[in-house]
Chains A and B, each alone.
Chain A
Amino acid sequence: MILRYTFQRLLMLIPVSFSISVVIFMIVYLLPGDPIDNLLRVGSSPEDRAELVAQYGLDRNLVVQYFVWIGNMFQGEFGQAIVLRRPVADLVAQNLPYSLTLGGLAFLFSSTVGMALGTISAIVRHPLLDRFMRGFILLGSTVPGFWLALLLILFFSVNLGWFPVSGAGGWKSLVLPVLTIGFGGVALVARVTRVALLDAQREDFVTLLHAKGLSSRTILFRHLMPHALLPVVTILALRIGWILGGAVTVEFVFGRPGLGSLLIRALGQRDYPVVQACLLMLALAVMLGTLIGDVAQASMDPRIREKKS
């Protein structure tokens, strides 16, 4: 059942990826300015320009350009960065590990800390703790990421000198960025965990387990946690795009390399191939996240499988 659903979802990705690729391809042609102008020697003739345009294949029909481009993408051939003058694949390879480390750690941080907080607040149902949790969740989902980052720098780097102000040298430089991105995630996961645990506790089987004389701890970790895990995975998977979005600002504030900062720089320089590659990578990540989220949700709730199939 779930396999069939997964397969169907995969099939659905084909038209979606096609439209995404077209949109990404087109976006770049809507950008004003021209990377060729950045490349041209000062005072060069229109002929020089035409030659460069031809060299980068920008003189061909748009449809042809699209198919050439998408064909290359399939072969992992991202083309040559126009302004940065090197294979786009190299740039992506250089930046991707930074993004993956940061994103992965933020993901891990928000899921573990969030679930722990959520579980605590589900067990200890104290009004004061409840209020604190509500406040924390509200704060986590409203504070602008860049502002939080600046405050963390002010406190931990400038005043205490614990962590570096910027850069990507060693684990210490990861702490503040991970905290910044993870903060919103922690709040979200805590809320989801709490709701899921409270819902599960009301189920009949829990009463049954209690009646069988199992300890509360066993019930919590053996039987309730798996229930809570799924919605958490779902929400986090659906939020991959959001984590990546957070990474753009965080990479900027902390001066870290990564797909986000590469994209921002390439947008500024109108470096088409780099913008396209970055957007495509991000879109892929988002689609993958949505897929995982949907499948997780479907495995939890059979109604979804039926409705969509």
Chain B
Amino acid sequence: MKVSTMAIRSLDAFARMSIGRAFASGIGMVAGGFLILLVLVAIFAPWIAPFDYAAQNLMNANAPPGWPHLLGTDEFGRDVLSRVIFGARTSLSVSATAIAISMAAGMTLGAAAGYFGGFFERAVMTVVDLTWSFPDILIALIFVAIIGPGLTSTTFAIAIAYLAQFTRLTRAQIVRLKRETFIEATINLGAKPSHILLKHLMPNAIAPVIVVGMLAIGDGIVLEATLGFFGLGAQPPTPSWGAMMSSGTAQLFLSPWVIIFPGVAVAITVIAVNLFGDELIRALDIRDRLRGA
């Protein structure tokens, strides 16, 4: 691998080259297209949704899919389609925000641990390994128990649940890169650690982290849905895919569409995220670097 070209590759170029390449394959295009569409739907939800997501019409509760409620209505007579559309907003924004926080924190911790090594590294990695081996849902549940239910706490809970993943990955990248000759040269030239980290190490470490972050958004959506299902995420009447399913078995009998459609939305979105992520990995040719973490 040509180290010099890697070093100058900025985020910008990363986006242009690799994402473009990921779109080039058939699966990548379908998955990527779907994701773009979904983001647009989430952004323009108020204009796209046929009804007010919170408007109750108790006389028309549990109506099956049909006209004018394409996906039926829930127990309060609210339009399920509108709620799924607004739910995309909640689910995507919570998951993306959480993963962004998690990535930022994980990269900082991981880079510091990988660069400085020693006791600091061991301390960080012990804690990280500890949380890593715990199921994400447990970590999130405990966190929500500490700061109470709601979207903010869900966001932070998800961020914490995936912190270990990013820390490990960044650290592994930094440790690997530190051995590269050009870094050793820079260090020998007496450059400041912050300069080396930000200018030389991070740009090279960032690609795999971004790809894993992309994949983690999918996991984050599932985790958000699960917390919502437990009633700990979005509080009514704010729709989120998970919270819509939280009425649980009640709806299975009276109006299964209230359970099925948000679940389908979660499943399709997560599958699209995974497929696109896989294509990104292939396009960037970083499978081996991901395994090393």
Report whether chain A binds chain B. yes
Number of interface residues of A (CB under 8 A): 45
Query: Which of chain A's residues have a CB closer than 8 A to the CB of B138?
Result: 244-245, 248, 263, 282
Interface status of A143 (Cβ within 8 A of chain B): yes
Q: Is B267 an interface residue (CB 8 A)?
A: yes
Chain A neighbourhood of B187, CB < 8 A: none
Complex CA distance for A241 and B131, rounded to whole angstroms:
10
Q: Is the CB of A154 within 8 A of B148?
A: no
Residues of chain A in range 113-168 having any CB-CB distance to chain B below 8 Å: 138-139, 141-147, 150-151, 153-154, 158, 165
Instruction: Give Cα A96 to B186, complex, Å.
Output: 56
- Which of the candidate stretches A13-21, A36-44, A50-58 sits at the interface with the other chain? A13-21
Question: Which partner residue on chain A sits nearest B137 by CB separation?
Answer: A245
Contact: A290 with B263, CB < 8 Å? no
Contact across chains for B135 and A138 when beta carbons are under 8 A apart: no
Residues of A within 8 A of B271 (CB): 138-139, 142
8 Å CB interface, B233-255 against A: 242, 245, 248-249, 252-253
Task: Name the prevailing secondary structure of the B interface residues.
Answer: helix
B130 touches A145 (CB 8 A): no
Q: Is the CB of B252 within 8 A of A154?
A: yes
The reply on A69 being an interface residue by CB < 8 A is: no
The reply to whether A32 and B222 form a contact with Cβ atoms under 8 Å apart is no
Set of chain B residues within 8 Å of A1, measured between Cβ atoms: none
Give CA–CA (A252, B263) in the complex, Å: 18
Q: Which segment of B42-50, B109-117, B139-147, B173-181 sits at the interface? A: B139-147
Pairwise interchain contact B263-A32, C-beta atoms closer than 8 A: no
A99 at the B interface (CB under 8 A): no
**Known contacts A241-B134, A242-B135: does B270 contact A142 (CB below 8 Å)?**
yes
Is A64 an interface residue, CB under 8 A from the partner?
Answer: no
CA distance A281 to B260 in the complex (A): 35
The answer on a CB contact under 8 Å between B142 and A23 is: no
Is A93 engaged at the interface, CB distance under 8 Å to the other chain? no
Interface pair A144/B127, CB less than 8 Å apart: no
Contact present for A145 and B252 (CB under 8 Å): no
What are the 4 closest A-B residue pairs judged by CB atoms, nearest first?
A245-B135, A147-B263, A142-B270, A286-B133
19 contacts between A and B (CB under 8 A): A16-B126, A19-B127, A138-B274, A142-B274, A144-B267, A145-B226, A146-B226, A147-B267, A150-B245, A154-B256, A245-B138, A248-B138, A249-B137, A252-B230, A253-B248, A263-B138, A268-B145, A286-B134, A287-B133
